[in-house]
Structure 1
């Protein structure tokens, strides 16, 4: 099942390291392990759909929502109500090769609805990571204060120091 943590793992699977963009899901075995850890199959077709959904959601989180492409991922998906001993439960159905990709897209929409404006890209333009701001004031700007936050604050401090007139 895809929850907020798994959604962030997926969105953050293309980090920048040493100035170069990495794709942690480029390795089929690594993606299969991630998919299986979240209840999905390890099939190649499922991996292709997961990569597609991840790329679309990264674009959508940055502001360009490719609605027709997202709809293509969701085509054939349906939530069916089931009544059991524990009450009403919604069962998701989708083509097996797209099930985890569908769950990923639905998790993204759920976060956007429940926490509007809190899922966003890191404020460091050189970073490709995303954050889910859980702060009370919705003021988090960086994926990590230790890395991006400190780096940008130090850069701004050095720029101000260079621009300051000498005594």
Structure 2
């Protein structure tokens, strides 16, 4: 029975409305609001397994309690930083996550390689997400954005040429905003 339950967890689809963002934002986006209902993919190790698979980390990390605790802690730190609530405490919290690992260079068959190593395997997904956040801050800090819809809690990396993306998804939040504007105009019409 246990093996059957586990295989069902492994085939569960990722229910989140926005996936495929850079790893740090993908981790933040494991909590979302749908029709006024708050969801948290990381409310169980089963949800963690879904996220690890969606993020391409399921072959490098185990969906267990220790990994879940590390990932939830890291998500909270990243969310605080993304919300522009930067503080020495938030920076130190991110640095504590980063202290769990490092990149180790080596010469591979195709040239130089860098492999992350952590002091505890449970911290690998968290360390990778924290390192990815630093990468985004280095490359394009102004492109880490919250969705402009007031009822959305998702974040995205604005990869548009002119940097003017406003919505996590034009098909969802962008259309909601357009529909709300249309409704307001029709109410105040002639």
- The root-mean-square deviation of aligned C-alpha atoms, in Å, is 2.1
- Secondary structure at the aligned position of 2:153 is classed as coil
Q: Could you tell me whether the CA contact under 8 Å between 1:32 and 1:47 is conserved in 2?
A: no
| Correspondent of 1:46 among 62, 67, 71 | 67
CA offsets per residue over residues 86-139 of structure 1, 9 Å max, x none? 222222221222111000111122123223322211001210111222211111
SS at match of 2:92: helix
Preserved CA contact (<8 Å) 2:104 2:117: yes
Comparing 151-160 with 20-29, which one deviates more in the overlay?
151-160
User: Aligned equivalents of 2:114 and 2:107: distance in 1?
Assistant: 9
TM-score of the pair, normalised by structure 2: 0.76
In the TM superposition, residue 5 of structure 1 has moved relative to its aligned partner by 4.5
Distance in structure 2 (CA, Å) of the matches to 1:34 and 1:72: 22
Q: How many residues align?
A: 163
Identify the match of residue 24 of structure 1 among 36, 41, 49: 41
Structure 1, unpaired ranges of 5+: none
Give deviations 1:26-59, integer Å, cap 9, x for gaps. 0221203433541212231111101111122122
Match of 1:138 in 2: 163
